[in-house]
Amino acid sequence: MTKDTKNGNAEQSELGLSLEELIRRGARELIQKAIEVELRELLGDYENVKMLGGQRAVVRNGYLPERQILTAVGPVDVRIPKVRDRSGGGVKFNSALVPPFVRRSQRIAAALPWLYLKGISTGDMRDALTALVGDQAKGLSPNVVSRLKSEWATEHDAWMKRDLAANRYVYWWADGIHTGLRQEEDARQCLLVIIGVTPDGRKELVTLDDGLRESKESWLDVLRDLVRRGLSAGPRLAVGDGALGFWAALDEIYPETQRQRCWVHKTGNVLNALPRTLQGKAKADLHEIWMAPTRTQAIAAFDHFVTTYGPKYPKAADKLTKDRDALLAFYDFPAEHWQHIRTTNPIESTFATVRHRTTRTRNCVSRSTFLGLAFKLVQEAEKSWRRIRGVERISELLGGTVFRDGVPATGEETDQQELAA
pLDDT (0 to 100) of residue 88: 74
Which of 169, 243, 252, 157 is closest to 206 using CA atoms? 169
pLDDT reading at 106 higher than 70: no
Domain ranges of the chain: 3-156, 164-280+335-400
Q: What is the model's pTM? A: 0.73
Which whole number is the average pLDDT over 103-119? 65
Q: How confident is the model at residue 108 (pLDDT cuts 50, 70, 90)?
A: low
pLDDT reading at 186 higher than 90: no
Q: Which residues contact 261 (CB under 8 A, 6 or more apart)?
A: 239, 240, 241, 242, 323, 326, 327, 329
pLDDT (0 to 100) of residue 421: 47
Q: How confident is the model at residue 77 (pLDDT cuts 50, 70, 90)?
A: confident
Which of 191, 214, 201, 210 is closest to 171 using CA atoms? 201
pLDDT (0 to 100) of residue 351: 78
Condensed to tens digits (0 to 9), the pLDDT of residues 12-25 reads 433 455 666 666 67
Condensed to tens digits (0 to 9), the pLDDT of residues 355-390 reads 554 344 455 667 888 888 888 888 878 888 889 999
Q: Which residues contact 219 (CB under 8 A, 6 or more apart)?
A: 192, 211, 244, 245, 246, 248, 249, 250
Q: Tell me the average pLDDT of the chain.
A: 82
pLDDT (0 to 100) of residue 92: 83
pLDDT reading at 181 higher than 90: no
Q: Quote the percentage of the chain above a pLDDT of 90.
A: 45
Condensed to tens digits (0 to 9), the pLDDT of residues 115-164 reads 767 666 655 566 666 655 565 555 556 666 777 788 889 999 999 999 99
Q: Residue 74: what are its φ and ψ, rounded to 5°?
A: 105, -175
pLDDT (0 to 100) of residue 330: 98
